[in-house]
Amino acid sequence: MSLPQKLLVFGATGQVARELAKLRPGATCLGRDRADLADPAACAAAIRASGATAVINAAAHTAVDRAEAEEALATLVNGAAPTAMARECAALGIPFVQISTDYVFDGSGLDRWQPGDATGPLGAYGRSKLAGEAGVRAAGGSHAILRTSWVFSAHGANFVKTMLRLGASRDSLTVVADQIGGPTPARDIAAALLAMTDTLLANPVASGTYHFAGAPDVSWADFAREIFAQAGMATTVTDIPASDYPTPARRPGNSRLDCASLTETFGIPRPDWRVGLAGVLTELGAKP
């Protein structure tokens, strides 16, 4: 399968964007200084000027709690900007790949969410990402929307780094145990995005919405226990309900994602997040 002649990535400092740059060194990665997602027209213009043969949007307003107070900005960045990007890519006849989130669902039940299940976001962040999904589909071009969850890496702010920081100064922590999902290494997301992009270049009929999350599904509390175990830290974890840890934005209780269609269409299996965690801890120098 031929690789993109010129891959354009929106995002440069985020978790997935950093991994994309490492995995595809020839890609052009645009940070906020070169592409402000609060200016959708400028993002479309950047695509036109780039001569790209494929585009991945790895940039977003990801501050879930802050989005509650600035929904208009979140919707501009997460909704209008990818819509403008997808329209431009459709006009140019090139594939567009967009990252989305488990937050588009209401988190009810116990079953894994299917890509075609009814959405029902609980807050501003989920609504803004859902708006982006709708815009990408409506653009009518070759595209893939990849919903993922609980992203972690050695970069930026994420649960793994927070646990390591807190565990370094505390003997015990209380962690939410009634929210379940699949932790997902950013490097595996980046690899999946690249594989999907390459496939779409050769086979545009693979367009659609897909899920990708690490296995096995766990609670935040059990995720924390594995972090401390692999890092050789003695910090103990006590389970608490989400109601004991209120936040401005409501989190889905059930973030389990069914990833079967991604495997069927692209041959991409769910990654074992425990393996990815070991790699991240090694990168951070946190392995015993």
Catalytic residues: 125
Burial of 279 (0-12, 13-18, 19+ CB in 10 A): middle
Residue 218, Cα to own-chain centre: how many angstroms?
17
In this structure, the strands spanning 236-240 and 184-185 are: unpaired
Cα separation, 200 vs 21, in Å, equals 20
Q: What count of other Cβ atoms lies within 10 Å of the Cβ of residue 199? A: 19
Q: How far apart are CA 58 and CA 192, in angstroms?
A: 12
The three state secondary structure string of 63-101 is CHHHHCCCHHHHHHHHHHHHHHHHHHHHHHCCCEEEEEE
Pairing type for strands 208-212 and 7-10 reads unpaired
